[in-house]
Amino acid sequence: MQPVRIAPSILSADFSKLGEEVRAIDAAGADWIHIDVMDGHFVPNISFGPAVMKSVRGVTTKPFDVHLMISPVDAYLDAFAEAGADCITVHYEAGPHIHRSLQHIKSLGKRAGIVICPGTPAKMLDYLMDMVDLVLVMSVNPGFGGQSFIPSQLKKISAIRTMIEKSGRAIDLEVDGGVDAEWAKRCIEAGADALVAGTSVFRGGPSQYAANIAALRG
């Protein structure tokens, strides 16, 4: 398994200076830039759209890891691809035809990811493992930052790691929600190789970002 990648969520950044914040987490050692897109429909919050994402695309060469909490999602895939997404991740629960959504992402030349919420079992991925490049396990209910990690998701992470190994494919296993240094360690032990963190990365301001990211790596 490859070394853990850290993907700071810019949802926790200072929006008044978003470009500076993205540069700061890049310099601090972020592997990916995680972009949480919320529509106020699938989740009880609204964040930003492709125009905002595109406005910071030029300040870093790090991959944009785009998590679409949108329903229906298919109509927006092209716009986020054009705005600079490298990986587009969609929710299993957000639409009736997840296979079609994943096909469309692949047709755009992007990495395709699937997200499952805390109440969604790992077995729902059974007939999708041949299509995905990334599986994102939500360890909180999606919609806003600062929530506490749901411990039951560790068992799900382990189950999905087994599924990935059996698939024989190079699939990233990412965890998002309430990930601090202690939960990061447990997620990695369970089989995660990518971690999304918002509050725990951006806490303390830019001078602390490198130490915060290092703490998550363990």
Catalytic residues: 36, 176
Instruction: Indicate the SS3 state at residue 108.
Output: coil
β-strand 172-176 against 5-8: which pairing, if any? Answer: unpaired
Contact 141, 147 (CB under 8 A): yes
- Sorted by sequence, the CB contacts under 8 Å of residue 158 that are 6+ apart come out as 190, 191
Angstrom distance (rounded) from CA 100 to CA 216: 35
Of 143, 101, 95, nearest to 118 (Cα)? 143
Angstrom distance (rounded) from CA 21 to CA 154: 30
Q: What is the CA radius of gyration of the chain?
A: 16
As a three-state string, the secondary structure of 143-203 is CCCCCCCCCCHHHHHHHHHHHHHHHCCCCEEEEECCCCHHHHHHHHHHCCCEEEECHHHHC
Location of structure tokens 């691809």:
81
The CA distances from residue 215 to 38, 51, 79, in Å, are: 28, 32, 35
